[in-house]
Amino acid sequence: MKTHSNDRYDFKAIEAKWQKRWLDNQPYRVTPEPDREKYYVLEMFPYPSGRIHMGHVRNYSIGDVIARYKRMQGFNVIHPMGWDAFGLPAENAALKHGIHPASWTYDNIAYMREQLRAMGLSYDWDRELATCDPDYYRWEQLIFLKMMAKGLAYRRETTVNWCDSCQTVLAREQVIDGCCWRCDQQVVPRTMSGWFFKITAYADELLEGLETLTGWPEKVVTMQRNWIGRSQGLACDFRIENHDQVLTIFTTRPDTIFGVTFMSVAVEHPLIEQLISGTEYESRVRDFIRKALVEKQRMALDAEPEKHGVFTGAYCLNPFNGERVPIFVADFV
């Protein structure tokens, strides 16, 4: 015979009890222990938009499982939390709501902090930080100035993913199906001046570091190796016919230059304007570039799209045999 109880599991009261215990005792606070092996677990800091969603739950639950597992293995685990809180999105949201950006940001942080604490995640909250705090970004500024003084930071023109609604640049990972991950507005390409770091100065060291990674997917390691971009080969100039400019190519197989049949340049190449301006090919090339840039925003990171190109009407000269080589604008360069 089955019996039924009218008693219900009062999860709110039980959760409140243990959350208070964790808050008072700080069981995940980390102190130096020289005799224990250290382990550092860090998930990507959230943007303080005001509410956590299931994407946050997934991401931080995975990190929390790893942190707890490593503690069970005896590691002294550092598991901090912070807030990626700087930038124009905070300013734009504050303007929309008629409040100061700092108030909007810190109010959101306070609310989201309580949401994450309610999940029972094993963070050392003593190590919490926000990237908008002067005590944090002063060190970023110092590092940047030192890198600039060493010639490791420089400015140049580049094409970026631009969200006109958020009025900010987006990383490629933040463009979802051609739209902004935050506001779902169409992302457009824009040419603007930006700061770059001369990572090529560290190419050898970075490549050596990849060899020490164990258990990483080969696809990820290859992606990193290609991103570092170190290669040995020959740089060679192709003079553009009827112009005082050259196209410099790099190849690991100089012997193949004799058989060059066409030259491809990226849709963002600065010489395109000079090649097509006032020619019968101008309209067709501009239309191709516009479509290619839009499609580039939609392309998934691991996609292998079809390759397309359009003739510019211009030629360059093969430096090895003097033959004319047609110049194309292509979406795969």
Q: How far is CA 143 from the centre of its chain?
A: 20
Q: How far is CA 83 from CA 61, 87, 97, 130, 166, in A?
A: 17, 12, 21, 5, 19
pLDDT in the model for residue 4 = 59
pTM reported for the whole predicted model? 0.67
Q: Are residues 246 and 281 in the same domain?
A: yes
Same domain, 93 and 166: no
Residue 217 in domain: no
Using one digit for the tens of pLDDT, what is the confidence trace for 172-208?
778 887 888 878 888 888 888 989 999 888 889 999 9
122 with 39, same domain?
A: yes
- Please identify which residue in the block is written with the tokens 């009261």: 13
Q: Are residues 29 and 120 in the same domain?
A: yes
User: Is residue 213 situated within a structural domain?
Assistant: no
pLDDT tens-place string over residues 279-311: 999 999 999 998 887 777 666 544 567 889 999
Give 327: exposed, middle or buried? Use CB within 10 Å, 0-12, 13-18, 19+. Answer: buried
Contacts of 173 (CB under 8 A, 6+ apart): 301
- Which structural domain, as residue segments, surrounds residue 156? 151-197
Pairing of strands 309-317, 324-330: antiparallel
| Residues present in the chain in total | 333
Distance from C-alpha of 44 to C-alpha of 310, rounded to nearest angstrom: 41
The last residue of a domain, from among 135, 163, 182: 135
Residues 40 and 83 in one domain: yes
Between CA 304 and CA 81 the distance in angstroms is: 36
